[in-house]
């Protein structure tokens, strides 16, 4: 009989443990709690159901990445195979893992804006230093500072150069702008 593949959405509880086999293969283990919600028609509100506890095990690169990325309280989406059910918990061998974007923003290494993007832009003073790197990036085809990958795209720098306070929406004639009144 083939193992049962399941998809689980839950919250990491506790810290992630990582170990290495004698041959150097990374193995991590973390606990996950899934709490289902059910509509209570009599009370006209949602109620939490009984929590389902999972013990998840990941291997190799997934184990290394999970150890670096997961902390207590983070909501995750897990695809895995049920290996056993014991001690009031479901044991999963994790095939894939992702951070849930329902309650937070996640950045990848290539999507992080540069530290300069967080610098405040004065609405009265023009930003002259931004125009030169934009043309250098366009000429080099790179997206990052000094030709490194991971920097903001060209449109980000152009918007910073013109000032965030003067955003203009690209809407068809006659349609209302989503930024109107801001």
Q: Which of the four pLDDT bands, split at 50, 70 and 90, describes residue 2?
A: low
CATH of domain 5-99: 2.40.50.140
Considering only residues 158 and 25, tell me which one the structure prediction assigns the higher pLDDT: 25
Average of per-residue pLDDT values in the chain: 77
Tens of pLDDT, residues 106-122: 777 777 766 666 666 66
pLDDT at position 139 = 46
Rounded Cα distance between 34 and 54, Å, is 8
The structure's pTM equals 0.57
- The residues spanned by each domain of the chain are 5-99, 115-164
How confident is the model at residue 142, as a pLDDT?
43
Mean pLDDT of 145-153: 55
Q: Across residues 61-71, what is the average pLDDT?
A: 92
- Spatial separation of the C-alpha atoms in residues 132 and 138, rounded to whole Å: 10
The 10 Å CB-count burial string (b at 16+, else e) for 86-125 is eeeebbbebeebebeeeeeeeeeeeeeebeeeeeebeeee
Task: Please state, in angstroms and as integers, the Cα–Cα distance from residue 54 to each residue in 34, 59, 75, 172, following that order.
Answer: 8, 16, 13, 50
98 touches 32 (CB < 8 A):
no
Q: Give the C-alpha separation, 158 to 45, whole Å.
A: 47
Average pLDDT over residues 169-176: 49
Q: What is the pLDDT, as a whole number, of residue 108?
A: 75
pLDDT at 148: 45
Among 94-108, 128-142, 160-174, the range of highest mean pLDDT: 94-108
- Joined together, the tokens standing for residue 70 give 């997961």
Tell whether the model's pLDDT for residue 141 goes beyond 80: no
Whether residue 135 is predicted with pLDDT greater than 90 in this model: the reply is no
| Dist CA 10 CA 36 (whole Å) | 9
Arithmetic mean of pLDDT, 37-52: 91
């Amino acid at each position: 009989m083939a193992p049962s593949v399941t998809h689980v959405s839950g919250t990491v509880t506790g810290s992630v443990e990582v170990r290495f086999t004698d041959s150097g293969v990374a193995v991590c283990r973390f606990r996950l709690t899934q709490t289902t919600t059910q509509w209570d028609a009599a009370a006209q509100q949602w109620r939490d159901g009984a929590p389902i506890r999972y013990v998840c095990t990941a291997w190799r690169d997934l184990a290394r990445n999970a150890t670096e990325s997961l902390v207590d309280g983070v909501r995750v989406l897990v695809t895995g195979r049920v290996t056993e059910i014991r001690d009031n918990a479901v044991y999963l061998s994790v095939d894939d893992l992702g951070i849930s974007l329902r309650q937070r923003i996640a950045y990848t290494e290539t999507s992080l804006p540069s530290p300069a993007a967080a610098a405040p832009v004065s609405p009265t003073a023009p930003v002259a230093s931004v125009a030169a790197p934009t043309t250098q990036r366009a000429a080099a085809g790179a997206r990052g500072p000094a030709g490194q990958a991971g920097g903001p795209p060209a449109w980000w720098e152009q918007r910073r150069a013109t000032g965030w306070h003067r955003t203009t929406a690209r809407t068809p004639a006659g349609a209302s702008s989503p930024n109107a009144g801001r």
